Amino acid sequence: MTGEFDDMYETFKALLDAFPPSEGVKRLEQMGVSSEVIQHIRDRHEQQTIRIKELEEPHAVVLGNRDTWYTGPQPKDKCWPAIRDLLLKDGWDKDAAIQHLDDSSTRVVSLLNHPKEKKFSTRGLVVGYVQSGKTTNFTSVMAKAADRGYKLFIVLAGIHNGLRRQTQARLAQQLVEPNPSLWSQLTGLEKDFTPTENPASYFGKSNKTHVLCVVKKNATVLRKLALWLDKAADYLEDCPALIIDDEADQATVATKSINPLILSIMKSLPRSAYVGYTASPFANLLIDPSAEDLYPQDFVVNLPKPAGHFGTEVLFGRYALDGEDPDQVDDGHDMIRSVPMDDVACVRPETKADVEGFEPVITDTLHRAVEYFLLVTAARRVRGTGNPHSTMLIHTSVNTAVHNSFERPLNHLLKRAAQTMTDAAFLARLRTLWDEETARVPAEDFGETKVPFDDLVPELPKVLGSCRIIMDNSSSEARLDYENGPVVAIAVGGNTLSRGLTLEGLSVSYFVRAVSAYDTLLQMGRWFGFRNGYADLPRIWMTDELAEWFRHLATVETEMRRDIDIYITESETPRTFAVRLRTHPALRVTAAAKMRDAVTAASAYGGKRVQTHYFHTNAAWLQGNTAAARELVAEALSNAVRVEDRSAENRYIFRDVPYDAVTDFLASYKFHEKSPENDADLISDYIRKRVAAGSLRRWNIAIVGSSAGERFEFVPGVSVGRNIRSRVTATNPDPDFADIKTLMSRRDAAVDLGGDTAKLTEKGIIDERRVQLPDTGLLVLYPIDKTSEPGPGKKLRAPLNSEEHVMGVGLVFPEPQDGDSEVEKYISADLSGVRLEDEDFSLLEGDDA
């Protein structure tokens, strides 16, 4: 019976390939299968469906209860097995990497419509990471969709020829070449779309092949494609189409030419699914959902970060989010090297007027970066593993004339290095550089072994001999070409190197380009990706301000992805929730035109923790904050209902202090201007609005110190040991700025709670506060030692070295009550114009008609 049932189930699966589930059941009944067996078959299919829906990776937000018709590959498939076999030959791990790709691509295909449905127009978004294998994912999605009956595949491959060619080559290699009889190509490696005489021949019933078209997001090209498809309109009724929009935030959103043309192409395809792929989805998530546009109204898929991927957080660290244990948030690897602000004018014109005749100066930091690149390339040759190419990126300006101006001084630098290769002083300098860098980032931390300097010296002449300086921009003839043997190159460029295009074997980056938006900044991080065989060696030279921006961006990314994952559990849809995007005082989220339909998202402080992690280090600023803290403690001492002296634990608690003591303190205490989440006016307004609504009138004021520190006195009789909070070295733009990253521990957020709180999780603390102190705020003061030497093993930390002791502040707000006010610090899509089906039904029920 089991074998017979298995055969019957496979028959049902085969029917699913050709028909939607309900039609498959009807066909089984016509075949005389009993209702009991059909029910067993349906039960198994439902279990398979649930398995796909519950795949841990990737997480997705889906519109409604869409039937999951696709539950994975089948033995008769041809396109997906070909990709899997190619990846196995390339060394992909079958049980980890390939299984991960199989699961994630299956999840995306399961969210598409069944190709036999008579009419559909799906809009989805897949959020990946920069240089994380998005192309491989959407190629796998295309393969699986082709195996199930999708016919036309249009890939919108960025706006540059380089990325289009790269994508065309990859798809030809992985889709077409293994099964040439199954595919027809409308585009070639060197040929973007050119209309053919008879478009109907590709879509008529006599042509059983899948049709592949890889085009740039260029108005002229897309217009040709749209007109060509119109000529085949009679044949497109029976042509399920999948449109993949690579770099979906670029040129697609809020453009006067490209956006309407994409929508026009979709309208000409009665059965089409549009899926955008991007690592910077900020613009896509801010599209007006009520407009006839490309807002991902059907699903958002959040691809997980693959093992071994170097992303924003890995390199730059990030700040703790609400609900996280700060001790579990890493500072990132010690791979960022500081470029002084004084160097910037030497490598980038300060104004447009300075571009003409600009001559860059090889600064000490750029000189050091180039020499380290030579050492890395030599060391990788000694190891003989990983990517055979080795690239350095120099990105200082978008202007092509500036790129070209680097050619002469860089060639001169390499020539001098070749001439002094046997010079003892030169080799001694290189040895010192190598030893310093390999000590800061031990190879053993990445499962590698340090290459001794004496072993890499013999490789240096050959590295210098093969190293080329390449200007890769829109006006240059020489471009990076990884197809003809191993490449050693120092690439100087701008926009052509900042989107989608992979810089193979990228080891060293020198980046001081001024940017203004999250998506621009993130996409320029060509150093993100995989570094198999040399994960310990990459380095990035950039200004400390840029490093701080990337740290903030890592926090934004993590919070955005957490929003997407949380909404799955809350049964929300892309039409009922809007992903919030945290703002920054110096950066836009995306271009202004792409944010025109966005609204300021309300973010209540209720249930949140707010803490200081940026500080000035000058005496006057610090003394003002210390005076404000001492005044608050004096006020609390006079007005508290109860004072708890826990001086043995270096703690004090002043209970039930009136709220105006807190707002008075916030009027005097100065938050650092770069702390967007720490706005004293917004916090005070929030407190006053809640007070007006009848809540948050009383506060507990706590002082938290350290038994290891010397005493700090607030008022006579109230003193604690000073805390140690060292600064993060990677984000130190000037001597008058310090970033300590995290101030407040989870334990401190429970300092005023009764009972044993030592083992409480973050959620447990929130729950306990709801029970014990449902309407009481907590403000914690932290006196921080002005020297604050970092502890052992803190490689990315430096002494605080402020002119006076620092006063840190943490605030914990009770969860929102009825009438809770909200404070603005995020933006999101405006969902107010979206009419949901349920709402329409409710309107009909009240209609007199």
pLDDT digits (tens, 9 = 90+) for 1-46: 455 555 566 666 566 555 656 666 677 777 777 777 777 777 666 6
Window from 133-142, 293-302, 592-601 with minimum mean pLDDT: 592-601
Q: Could you write out the DSSP letters of every residue in 116-185? A: TSS-EEEEEEEE--TTSSHHHHHHHHHHHHHHHT--EEEEEE-SSHHHHHHHHHHHIIIIITTSGGGEEE
Amino acid at 560: M
pTM of the model: 0.72
pLDDT digit string, tens, across residues 167-195: 999 999 999 999 999 999 999 998 899 88
pLDDT classification of 56: cutoffs 50, 70, 90: very low
For residue range 210-255, what is the model confidence (pLDDT) as tens digits?
999 999 999 999 999 999 999 888 889 889 999 999 989 988 998 9
Q: What does the block give as tokens for 115?
A: 């190709």
- Neighbour tally for 43: CB within 10 Å: 10
HSE (side-chain half, CA atoms, 13 Å) at 326: 15
Residue-level pLDDT at 779: 98
The DSSP secondary-structure symbol of 357 reads T
Query: Within 13 Å and on the Cβ side, how many CA atoms surround 391?
Result: 26
pLDDT per position as a tens digit, 434-449: 999 999 999 999 999 9
CA distance 471 to 596: 36
Nearest of 728, 734, 764, 731 to residue 749 by alpha carbon:
764
Instruction: Considering only residues 80 and 96, tell me which one the structure prediction assigns the higher pLDDT.
Output: 80
- Return the beta strands (E) in 735-804 as ranges: 738-739, 776-784, 797-798
The C-alpha atoms of residue 777 and residue 701 are separated, in whole angstroms, by 9
Other CB atoms within 10 A of residue 33 CB? 16
315-354: pLDDT as tens digits: 888 887 766 666 678 788 999 999 999 999 999 998 888 8
| Residue 15 phi, psi dihedral angles, 5° rounding | -65, -35
- Residue spans per domain, the chain: 79-307, 340-542, 609-825
Residue 114 is given by DSSP the state P
pLDDT digits (tens, 9 = 90+) for 761-807: 777 888 899 899 999 999 999 999 999 998 887 777 889 999 999 99
Mean pLDDT of 252-263: 93
Whether residue 137 is predicted with pLDDT greater than 90 in this model: the reply is yes
Q: Would you state the pLDDT for residue 432?
A: 97
Residue 51 pLDDT greater than 80, yes or no:
no
Those residues with Cβ within 8 angstroms of residue 153's Cβ, 6 or more apart along the chain or in another chain: 142, 145, 146, 210, 211, 212, 213, 241, 242, 244
Confidence at residue 758, expressed as pLDDT on a 0 to 100 scale: 82
Mean pLDDT over residues 609-615, rounded?
88
Q: Strands across the sheet with 598-603, in order?
A: 581-582, 823-829, 598-603
Tell me which fold the domain 79-307 belongs to: Rossmann fold (3.40.50)
- pLDDT value at residue 322: 66
Task: State the Cα–Cα distance between residues 557 and 312, nearest whole angstrom.
Answer: 9
On the question of pLDDT at 196 being above 50, the answer is yes
pLDDT of residue 370: 98
Alpha-carbon gap, residue 610 to 668, rounded angstroms: 17
Confidence of residue 606 (pLDDT cuts 50, 70, 90): confident
Look at strands 152-157 and 183-185 and give their pairing.
Answer: unpaired
- CA atoms of 472 and 190, how far apart (whole Å): 18
| CA–CA separation, 574 and 64 (whole Å) | 10
Phi-psi region of 571 (alpha: psi -120 to 50; beta: other; left: phi over 0): left
| pLDDT tens per residue across span 391-413 | 999 999 888 899 999 999 999 99
